[in-house]
Amino acid sequence: MDATLMPLAVPERHLYRIPEAMRLLSMSRSVIYELLRAGRLRSVTQGRARLIPAQAIQQYVDLLITESEGVCYDRTA
């Protein structure tokens, strides 16, 4: 398989600040905070900084993929 067609994994950092997570997930700040409040995206705090673990970002993406696999787009039935 061509390496340019492979899906990109979360880069090799362990923790991301909110603006970085926003860019990685292509989501707004308010959506990120709503996901945190709902428990769909995990975070940790270090001092006053809220950080998103790379593992939590990957788990959220996996959750979205799993949820989308159960959706039926065929509306003719």
Give the domain ranges of the chain.
13-69
pLDDT reported for residue 32: 98
Cα 37 to Cα 24, 41, 77: the distances in Å are 19, 8, 37
What tokens appear for 64 in the block? 């979205």
Look up the pTM and report it. 0.74
Determine the pLDDT at residue 47. 96
**13-69 adopts what CATH topology?**
Multidrug-efflux Transporter Regulator; Chain: A; Domain 2 (1.10.1660)
User: 59: burial class by Cβ within 10 Å (0-12, 13-18, 19+)?
Assistant: middle
The whole-number mean pLDDT for each consecutive block of 10 residues of the chain, a chain of 77 residues, reads 57 89 96 98 96 96 89 60
Instruction: Give the pLDDT of residue 74.
Output: 60
